[in-house]
Structure 1
Amino acid sequence: MEYFIYALNHTYTDDSHTDTKFLGFSNSLEDLEELKAKAILMPGFRDYPDCFVTDCYILDKIHWNEGFEEVIGEIGRDYIEKGDVIDENHISIKELGLNTVFSVSHYYTIHTFLDDERYIGVFSSLEKAEKAIEELKSKPGFKDYQNDFNISELDLAVLLWNSGFGTV
C-alpha cells in the first residue's frame, strides 16, 4: 500500500509568462479548500481565481530517478506537470498522523538570471529525504551539483504564501 498527499498550486499565464506558485500540502481536500479560500483574498491570486490546481503525490517517491543532462523547462525550472496517478491502492497520509512532511528539490544557478530547478519529491521523514538525496548524488547532472539539494520541512494545511503577487 502506498500513501499519497494533496498539493495545492496556482499556475497562471499573463501576457509575458506562465508562473507556478506552490501553496502547500495537506492530508485532506477540505484543508486544501481552506488554503485556497485564504489565498484567493490576496492580490494576484484573486486576479486569477480559476488557476488553482490540486494534485496528489505519492509519499516517499523520487521523481527524478535517472538524473538529468540539460537545462529544461521555463527559465530552467522543470516542475512535475501533474500529480501521480492515484487509485484504490493508495491511501491518504491522514492515516499516518503526520503533521509535517519533507519536500526535496534540487536547484543551482547557471548564471545571474537563470536557475535550473527540479522538484524531487515529498517524504515522510528527514531520514527518507536524506536517503533519496544520497541515491541521486551519483546520477547524471546531480553528481555535478551534489551540494544543491534542498530539504524543507513543511507543516501540513498551512498556506505558504502570506502576501499576494503582481504589480502594485
Structure 2
Amino acid sequence: MALLGNPDMIHGLRHSRRGAVLVASILSAALIVGCSSEDEDGSRKAKDPKPSATPSVTSDQTKALEKKAEKALRLDNADDTDGLFVEAGLERVSDGIHTRSTLANGKSYTLAVVCSGVGKVRLTVTTKRPVRQTVECDSVPVRQRITDAPEHLETDVDGLAGSSGIIGWRIDELAK
C-alpha cells in the first residue's frame, strides 16, 4: 500500500496505462484491416470466404448413375441360376475401387468395369503383372478376361482429375 502512495509509482502507472491503451488501439486497427481486404476496384471482400457446401453430384443424380452402372453390368436383374456369378459392387469415383477378390486357382473369369458420370478413371488389375488402362465414364463397360486365375485378384480403380460419378464392377466365372 505504501508503494501506491509514492508519486513516482502513480506516475509510472499512468504511463503504463497510456502505453496499454496505445497498444490495444494499434492491435484493434491491425485486426480490422487484416480481416478484410480491398480489391483493385475498391470493393471489400472477406479474406477467407467460407466454402460452399454444394455437392458436385446430387443424390438424385447419384441414384441415376448407380442405375446406369447396374444396368450396364446386368446387376439390376442378375440371377445366379448358372452359378457363374462371383461378385459385384458399386462405389463413388471419389472413393474408387480397391478390392481383393478370392478366385478358384487356375479357372477363367471375366471382369467387367463400368464408370457412369464425367471424366475418366484408371483401372489396374493385378494378376501376375499389373495391367493398367484408362476407362471413360460413359456407362459402357470394359471387359477383361482373366485366364489361369490366381487365388487373389486385385482390382483398383481411381478417378482421374475432374472425374465424378459411379464405378461398378462384376466378376463372373467363364463357362467351360
TM interval, short-chain normalised: under 0.3
Q: Compute the TM-score of the two structures, normalised by the length of structure 1.
A: 0.28
Rg larger in 1 or in 2? 2
Q: Relative contact order: is structure 1 or structure 2 higher (C-alpha 8 Å, sep ≥ 6)?
A: 1
Question: By percentage of residues, which structure has more helix?
Answer: 2
